[in-house]
Amino acid sequence: MNHKKITTALFTAMMCLGGVTQAEEVSISHNGLKLVGELRVPEGSSLTSGPLVLMTHGTLAHGGMEIMQAMQQGLEDQGVAGLAINLSLGLDSRRGMYDCAVTHTHRHTDAMGEIGAWLKWAKGRGAKDVVLLGHSRGGNQTAWFAAENDDASVRKVVLVAPATWSRASRDAAYRNAYGKDLADVYGQAQRVMSTNGGKGTLKAGFIYCPDAEVTAASFVDYYADEPRMDTPSLFNKINEQVLVIAGSEDTVVEDLIEKTTPAAEDGKVQLVVIDGADHFFLDLYAEEAVDAIVAFLND
């Protein structure tokens, strides 16, 4: 008998049941697009009476993916409201995973404007105690937003397996994935931008999508030499308290613990390493992450 599979199935079932009875789909307009999210507020509570965790997902993903739903449900069970947003990625009313066959027009940096729009919406609904949370690439985007937007309603920041970056690792990852030098493709994208005002497209390996149709502006934005894509580089610029949650078996952001430890030792951030967890904190590891988050919020 595979107890792990049974546990996962039961846990997923509970998530689905919780979604039917507790979740509220909410939406806002931003830059001509409809953005959607899922709001969960504990019974007997309201956005004005306690913290609201504004949650941003990872690369090409969505607010309903397993890790986001598990953390949102876990927070609700412990009396904490959560708003899991779907980044638009350039699409109206986007839900579910991004389809690689769709032309990519989105940019990494678009997310910061959308996080800001959702924060404004939350404050308009009466939220005065907002916690920003992001996973993976969404962790970097959340940290980047917090570093450059000091809002009195934001009390704390939680980064779950946030992305790290270096020029060498970026270049090596691209060559390993697509068998090409990133510099060559990046140069092609720059030439398209210079001749088409940034509106032209190219066919290229892009993020997780082989042979994608992507605008030159999008490609250049995601693969720029941009140190702010390295989340630990942002810690000193964030005024709020920061919690970083890492999995000991994370093979996606392998250097996160190493890069975060100096800031943790200096007291700039709190670092919680969940033993055995990978990048997505599956099964009961999500509960451990939620426990760490709630302890941080109550500190």
Q: Output DSSP code: residue 100.
A: T
Cβ atoms 201, 185 nearer than 8 A: no
Taking the whole predicted model, whether its pTM rises above 0.75 is answered as: yes
Residue linked to tokens 């993903």: 61
What distance in Å separates the CA atoms of residue 288 and residue 274, rounded to the nearest whole number?
Answer: 7
Nearest to 178 by CA among 155, 214, 210: 210
pLDDT of 14 = 35
Cβ atoms 111, 57 nearer than 8 A: no
What distance in Å separates the CA atoms of residue 169 and residue 103, rounded to the nearest whole number?
Answer: 26
Q: Where are the domains of the chain?
A: 3-165+228-298, 167-225
Cβ-based burial of 117 (10 A; exposed 0-12, middle 13-18, buried ≥19): middle
pLDDT for residue 2 is more than 80: no
CATH number of 3-165+228-298: 3.40.50.1820
The string of DSSP letters for 182-248 reads: HHHHHHHHHHHHHHHTT--EEEEEETTEEEEEEEHHHHHHHTS--GGGSGGGGGGG--SEEEEEEET
pLDDT of 13 = 36
What distance in Å separates the CA atoms of residue 203 and residue 224, rounded to the nearest whole number?
Answer: 18
> Which are the contacts of 229, defined by CB distance < 8 A and separation ≥ 6?
108, 140, 163, 165
Nearest to 143 by CA among 157, 129, 122: 157
Q: Output DSSP code: residue 130.
A: E
pLDDT of 199 = 80
What distance in Å separates the CA atoms of residue 116 and residue 93, rounded to the nearest whole number?
Answer: 18
Cβ atoms 23, 36 nearer than 8 A: no
Cβ atoms 276, 285 nearer than 8 A: yes
pLDDT of 183 = 98
pLDDT of 75 = 97
Q: Which residues pair with 133 in a beta bridge?
A: 55, 158
What distance in Å separates the CA atoms of residue 42 and residue 285, rounded to the nearest whole number?
Answer: 22
What distance in Å separates the CA atoms of residue 295 and residue 289, rounded to the nearest whole number?
Answer: 10
For 162-196, the pLDDT digits (tens) are: 999 999 999 999 999 999 999 999 999 999 999 87
Which region among 34-48, 139-153, 194-208 has the lowest average model confidence (pLDDT)?
194-208
Average pLDDT over residues 36-52: 94
What distance in Å separates the CA atoms of residue 126 and residue 141, rounded to the nearest whole number?
Answer: 24
What distance in Å separates the CA atoms of residue 281 and residue 72, rounded to the nearest whole number?
Answer: 13
